[in-house]
Structure 1
Amino acid sequence: MLAPVYGADVGPETSKRARRAPRTSTRRVVLDLIRTRAPISRVQLAEITGLTPAAITHAVRSLLDEGLVEESGLREPTGGKPRVMLTISARARCAVGVQLGADWIVVVLTDARGAVVGRIRVRGARQDDPADVITVVAGHVDTLLRATAIGSEQLIGVGLAVPGTIDREAGAIREARTLPRWSGFPVRDALSQALGVPVAMDNDATAAAVGEHWSGRTAGAVAHCTLYMGAGIGAGFILAGAVHRGAGGNPGPLGRLHLHRAGRDAGPSLEDLAAPHTVAHRAQLLMDEGRASAIELTEEGDPFRDFGMVAAAAVHGDTLALELVEESAHYLADAVVTLAHLLDIDSLALAGPSFSTAGSIYVAVLEQRLHADGFLTVGVTLAAHVADAAAVGAAALVFHEEPVVVGPVSAL
């Protein structure tokens, strides 16, 4: 499904930001088509989108001037004058994606086609001071740029994917159960100042969904959902080819969903039932009660490493580990089936570090539950970059979206 074309008549009182929206959307559609269908001509772009030749010419000229697109040298035979073909200029522009989580921090460098040029993965933020974490992340970005010999003139910006609910205008995390010290911290502006480049920010699930869209894997989907599980659980949506952010920019906080009531109380949330820390905790309790298992938990009780141990044991057929992972998957399926009914999704991808080991088990359970509920055509897959999906998607944000607030313009 192609990204839709947005256009509207605007009056004299419309803000400058609103007046830019149609042009920005046209540019985004054209860039997406060139990226996924290259080599492609201007005439083909006009035929596919329904845009006027003048609109296509304007958008293509902008992309050529920015170095994102180049004329490939190929010519499309038409019987008359050959048509110049367009393609993405992969290394002319690069972007950095940062995946901030309590479990892991991932920094990737991608080219304009979405290929990962370099990657650094380190222990998550957890209880560390936010300002200190920003300094460390900035150092990792500098390391990647030096290691890959990417110059500052090639770096178009940085994308930042964060957990929890966010304030897009302020560039801050409103609330993240997994990173409580970050609430209200101006993380976007702090990272922009540390790096001296523009920073675009979104929640991790939405960023992961954008990454799937950027990779072209959702091209045939009308309603796509990316289920993201890192330390917490969320969902990102691509509906009719466009990123869905809802009214406040925070769709899909599945981890907060209460599926089971206990009397008048709401009962446990989905994260309380299915998140990695819960699976690890249940493994410890059951093994303390005498359940036999090959699971090797850490002495310090690290919930994320312990979950990795449970997932690894499950893949190798350990009875207790498989029971715990499948239980987690069925709780997730309760939420996903509800989403499927509400949004009539036709595509589901699983993304996030917590799916990196036992993702195939989750895929099998979710697919079985969806099919049992009548969603026979919904394909369930692992994301293109499972563990690093939010980081790769955050880098795609830089190319795909106009940042709400950017850093120093001179950095471009």
Structure 2
Amino acid sequence: MERARALTLRPAAEVGAGDAGHLRRLNLQRVLAVVMSQPSPFTRAELIEATGLSAPTIGSLVTHLVRSGVVRDLGTGPSRGGRRPAFMEFNARHGFVAVIDLGPTRTRLAVADLRGERLAHDVIPTPTAPDPAVLLSSVAGSLRGLLREAEVPAERLLAVAAGAPGAVDRERGLVTSAPNLEGWTQVPMREILERELATAVVVENDVNLAVLGEHWRGAARGHDTCAFIFVGTGIGAGILIDGALHSGHRFMAGEIAMMCMGPQYLDGDYGSRGCFETLAGLQALAGRWPGADGRDPAEWLAELFEAARSGDPRARAAVDETARLIGIAVANVAAVVDPSLIVLGGALFAQAEPLVREVRSVVHRIAHAPIDVVVSALGKEAPLWGGLLVATTEARGRLRHRVRETRVAAAE
């Protein structure tokens, strides 16, 4: 059997003395951690080497994992000079996950296996409902329909990640404020969705999910300290420091829409949208371009950027003014965070090379140290991929707990 990648072996941790149940939990935890981390088939001998456990212990635990469906037995491979090795793999479809990326106008949904590989996805108009509970109930209904389309039984949905365009208290699953969603203040998003979907839900800011997605599958791979700056209907930033999300004391880290862009703006009242978003968001750019009135942003943005490329003075002025403001904000984020990379995403950066070029120029004039500024590799789906990472991490943790407790109960 051809191997996709070599097994990455982990040194065994020392196990202290304790009761038999505690040891079984530790042993199963160690084996599951190795099993779930493997992208390719492996053998019992490799599990023994990776965990430091004895052959009888590995045999017993693997038999349990195969019977429970977490591990799939692939049969024997070719001989390497002795007994033919028996191969197995992590059953990524033992359970499933889902993502809700809630936006002001559109909501993206996805269903995936436990490796985060998508099985189905959809884009729906965000329901217009003044009551957040009614809106979320409608979205949950759409997700249930997508689960049926993917032939995923509801009881095997282990976790859902839900992104919201606003400040999120992840510990309480609360959207504290979402200015671009009417009536969204102190919304118990996790509680509502868990009631609707009957599974675990993790709620996170959508731009935080975007930076996780770019770090996992996109432009920020290999950059453990980086930022994602989103400019569209709203404005926000997601920040990774040493590979971990930085949320801040009040879960407001990255809410750069509130950034004051100069002393001349100190006395202005910008409400919940904030100074930066008021000056540089999609609505502000629409106000600088007469062809934007009442049209789909994708259409007038393409027209604006094409006009700027062709030298239209009004288009150039609109793009340059917006780029200067965004460039100043990007340079400010770089000065505070000191990232190795900043990723630009959102509607304003889709096929907008003139804008991106001018933003880079402003950043390089201001920033003390060189900083790479790149466009999102995942585009509008960056939060979706970040949500898949969050959901699979949560699901795997719950699966480990479930299998571990089942094993111990059976043994006792």
TM-score normalised by length of structure 1: 0.71
Question: In the alignment, which residue of structure 2 is the partner of 1:17?
Answer: none
Does 2:267 align with 1:273? Answer: no
Identity %: 25
Q: How far is 1:323 from its partner?
A: 4.0
Quote the offset at 1:366 in angstroms: 3.5
Aligned to 2:263: 261
The answer on whether the counterparts of 2:114 and 2:396 sit within 8 Å (CA) in structure 1 is: no
Partner of 1:178: 180
CA deviation after TM superposition for structure 1 residue 30, in Å: 6.5
SS of match in other structure, 1:117: strand
Mark the structure with the bigger radius of gyration: 2
Find the partner of 1:313 among 299, 303, 307.
Answer: 303
Give the aligned residue type for 2:300: V
Structure with the bigger RCO (C-alpha within 8 Å, sep 6+) is 1
Q: Spell out the pairing of 1:264-343 with structure 2 (5 A cutoff).
A: 265=267, 269-283=275-289, 287=290, 295=291, 297-298=293-294, 305=296, 307-318=297-308, 319=312, 320-321=314-315, 323-343=317-337
Classify 1:263/1:222 alpha carbon distance in 2 versus 1 (closer, same or farther; 3 Å): closer
Task: Specify the code of the residue in structure 1 equivalent to 2:370.
Answer: L
CA distance 1:126–1:282, shift in 2 (3 Å): farther
Residue 148 of structure 2: aligned partner:
146
Measured against aligned partners, the alpha-carbon deviations of 1:349-395 in whole angstroms (never above 9, x if no partner) come to 2334x2463354444334334444354352513142x1132233223
Q: What amino acid maps onto 1:273 in structure 2?
A: L
Q: Which amino acid aligns with 1:161?
A: G
**Letter aligned with residue 382 of structure 2:** A
Count of residues paired in the alignment: 360
- Deviates most, 116-125 or 205-214: 116-125
Counterpart code for 2:357: A
Determine whether 1:351 maps to 2:353: no
Partner of 2:405: none
**CA shift in 2, pair 1:212/1:381, >3 Å:** same
Structure 1 residue 258, shift from structure 2 partner: 1.0
Partner of 2:206: 204
Normalized per residue, the structure richer in helix is 2
Structure 1 gaps of 5+ residues are 1-6, 8-21, 288-294
Spell out the pairing of 1:203-242 with structure 2 (5 A cutoff).
203-215=205-217, 217-242=219-244
Cα 1:279–1:78, aligned 2, differ >3 Å: closer, same or farther? farther
Q: What secondary structure is seen at the aligned counterpart in 1 of 2:154? A: coil
Q: Does 1:378 align with 2:372?
A: yes
Distance in 1 (alpha carbons) for counterparts of 2:229 and 2:65? 32
Kept in 1, the 8 Å contact 2:256–2:276? The answer is yes
Q: Provide the C-alpha distance between the structure 1 equivalents of 2:229 and 2:144, rounded to a whole number of angstroms.
A: 31
- Corresponding residue for 1:14? none
TM-score (norm 2): 0.71
Cα distance change of structure 1 residues 196 and 253 upon mapping to structure 2, 3 Å threshold: same
2:101 aligned partner: 99
Contact 2:214–2:377 (CA under 8 A) maintained in structure 1: yes
State the distance in 1 between where 2:46 and 2:369 align. 35
CA shift in 2, pair 1:241/1:118, >3 Å? same
Q: Distance in 2 between matches of 1:142 and 1:97?
A: 12
Gaps of 5+ in 2: 1-12, 14-25, 403-412
**Structure 1 position 91, deviation (Å):** 3.7
Distance 1:217 1:73 in 2: 38
Task: Give 3-state SS (helix, strand or coil) of 1:218's partner.
Answer: coil
Paired amino acid for 1:221: H
Residue 186 of structure 2 aligns to a residue whose secondary structure is coil
Q: Is the 8 A contact 1:68 1:112 kept in 2?
A: no
Q: Pairwise mapping of residues 10-89 of structure 1 onto structure 2 (< 5 A)?
A: 34=38, 53=52, 89=91
Q: Give yes or no for contact 1:163–1:176 (8 Å, CA) kept in 2.
A: yes
RMSD of the TM alignment (CA)? 4.3
CA distance in 2, matches of 1:210, 1:28: 24
